[in-house]
Structure 1
Amino acid sequence: MRARKTGVVLGLAAVTLGAAACGGSGDSGKVRLSLVSYSTPQAAFEDIIKEFQKTPEGKNITFTKSFGASGEQSRAVANGLKADIVEFSLESDMTRLVDAGLVDAGWNSGPQKGMVSNSVVVLATRKGNPKNIKTWDDLLKPGVQVITPNPFTSGGAQWNIMAAYGAKADKGADKKAGTAYLHALFKNVPVQDSSARKALQTFSGGKGDVMLAYENEAIFAKQNNQPLDYIVPDDTLLIENPVAVTKKSAHPKEAQAFLTYLYGKKAQEIFVKNGYRPVVDGVPGGERFPNPPGLFTIADFGGWPKVKKEFFDPKGSIMADVEKGIGVSVEG
């Protein structure tokens, strides 16, 4: 088990929309791409776009950008939000666009299976860890407040839940124990924000004793002023984040060039600097990430289609029952 000191991200908007550089689609020779992403990689994308625009492939490309809760972003694109490149917290939000005919079914056929960054679920605490949080069991202690987003709007919340469930259910072998743990855990959750970034802002505002979070959120927060500690549990879940070009992109060649750039060492190094684990070999800094001995993946539970139905169907699922038991809406 490992702990590191870090700080909390402050003041980042959950949803932003703006241009990454001067110029627009009407400028001579300029192409404007629309990036729609979940909330947490915002800072990484700002830096990646700047570096991409220095390359021959990116010098005439500008961007509009939208960041928000993964599920909300996916549904917005399905409902007509313009997007050339989409990145989400979890694969099921990409599958929604495949089913809608907006992303090619072969989006995950490459060497990285369509995943552009990795992370793990960690336990973030106040500086000095005053509640002495060390394991998943400690989250159930009386008086401990746990911050995690709403799983019916946030992809990050779904990763958190599956990490907690898998750790207590022996990767799904003991369903009864895992389900009982989730019911007990959420009795200690005082508020459920719509996205992982909003949950981080809630924690930074002083609410809660421990936060379930992406490892990259905790590492990225180290660059800010309000410190916290975090623990990588021995048993935790590998987070895999998908990216794709949409089929309705007005500039597919340029969008594909940006997608290709995301897998290059420069972009992957920027992801690493922002706390993400790289998906290609040889990226500086990638060797510093700890390897939890009990690391598991979503495949251990049968993959996202099975998990979504069993855990996150608002019409009837494990988390629908958990949320109804504490009076929280399950409508995403």
Structure 2
Amino acid sequence: MFTRKRSTRLIAATTALVAALGLSACGGADADSSSTTLSLVGFAVPKAGNNAAQKEFAKTDDGKGVVWKESYGASGDQSRAVAGGLKADYVHFSVTPDVTRLVDAGLVEDTWDDGENKGIVTDSVVVLVVREGNPKNIQTWDDLVKSGVSIVTPNPGSSGAARWNILAGWQQAAADGGDAAGTEYLTKFFKNVAALPGSGRDATAAFQAGTGDVLISYENEAILARQQGEKFDYVVPDETLLIENPGAVLKDADPKAEAFLEYVLSDEGQKQYVSKGFRPLNDTVEVGKVEGANDPENPFPTPAKLFTIDGDLGGWAAINTKFFDENTGIVTKIQQETGKS
């Protein structure tokens, strides 16, 4: 398995956003005097994995009586909502800066990523999801920028999933050709973009509804959709990016939220995410058979080149300035130039 290397803007209309987020309860009977309600706020993609972990956590001494209130949406939007007042005990976001925003707001301890896992709770890789039978024979990143290929990927303005996707495309081009090659590739890429939905889950829904020839997505999202009966195929490129999603407990959270985080990081907890298509954090996790994977008996092939945020791209602080700054970011400028803002 790979070697793990890890290293603010408040919205004005927070109240309207919170109302639109669609809070929902899960995890057992309605709350009563003997129960503990925990609020989980996260990005849309890991909901199935979280729900599987919650179900098994409920069987432990720490998890008995826990009732969950959940809010899922685009990672950046969810992070800004919590910073703006949305109640959360535990957050599960797409990218580390969405937790850092809460540290800056005084809501999460600055030691949240000091552990062995550096704050990461789920792993995946960027894949190319294609129509059943792969009619356009899309196998590589170069195939995406050919004439006549239409791409669906979430919008990097709101979605952490989008940033992983776009950085994967950039890095496979820039690894050999430098920034000029990366910029040239992303310019061609965005010219072929047919839709930029708000979140990774919305992007999957758009593709399922018939938009585009290829969806740039998380491997786990493709596996889960196939578990649920979707007939599309997916390709793990020879060169792709390791996706590392953070989780954190808020300062004023109930102690059971910390117990849940510990369960998530345990081998038993990681097995629940593996069952929904996430790659395990550690080699000690028993993977077993994963339905929906290209090869259920060997569900997580190791790419020839697996890039990482810290090892190859300089870490999130540098990335956000270089690529996603609202005025000077490379991706921001490319989106404006191609009319895909």
The TM-score, its normalising length taken from structure 2, stands at 0.88
Alignment of 1:63-142 (within 5 A): 63-142=68-147
* Alignment correspondent of 2:208: 204
* Structure 2 gap ranges (5+): 1-19, 289-297
* Alignment correspondent of 1:193: 197
Q: Find out whether 1:324 has 2:336 as its counterpart.
A: yes
For residues 93 and 113 of structure 2, what CA distance do their matches in structure 1 show?
Answer: 13
Deviations 1:243-302 (A, max 9, x none): 0101132x1x11111111111222211100111011133222177411111111011111
For residues 137 and 215 of structure 2, what CA distance do their matches in structure 1 show?
Answer: 13
Contact 1:152 1:314 in 2 (8 A): no
For residues 152 and 245 of structure 2, what CA distance do their matches in structure 1 show?
Answer: 22
Q: Find out whether 1:245 has 2:256 as its counterpart.
A: no
The amino acid that maps onto 1:318 is I
The amino acid that maps onto 1:191 is A
The amino acid that maps onto 1:291 is T
Contact 2:154 2:196 in 1 (8 A): yes
For residues 251 and 75 of structure 2, what CA distance do their matches in structure 1 show?
Answer: 19
Contact 1:35 1:64 in 2 (8 A): yes
* Alignment correspondent of 1:168: 173
Deviations 1:92-122 (A, max 9, x none): 1111111111111111111111111111001
For residues 119 and 170 of structure 1, what CA distance do their matches in structure 2 show?
Answer: 20
* Alignment correspondent of 1:23: 30
Aligned length: 311
Deviations 1:131-179 (A, max 9, x none): 11111111111110011010010000000010000001117x6000001
Q: Percent identity?
A: 50
Of the three residues 184, 188, 197, the one matched with 2:188 is 184
The TM-score, its normalising length taken from structure 1, stands at 0.91
* Alignment correspondent of 1:9: none
* Structure 1 gap ranges (5+): 1-13
The amino acid that maps onto 2:92 is E
Of the three residues 308, 314, 317, the one matched with 1:302 is 314
For residues 233 and 68 of structure 2, what CA distance do their matches in structure 1 show?
Answer: 35
Contact 1:15 1:39 in 2 (8 A): no
For residues 109 and 187 of structure 1, what CA distance do their matches in structure 2 show?
Answer: 41
Q: Find out whether 1:289 has 2:303 as its counterpart.
A: no
Contact 1:169 1:178 in 2 (8 A): yes
For residues 210 and 299 of structure 2, what CA distance do their matches in structure 1 show?
Answer: 30
For residues 301 and 265 of structure 1, what CA distance do their matches in structure 2 show?
Answer: 29
Q: By how many angstroms is 1:16 displaced? A: 4.2
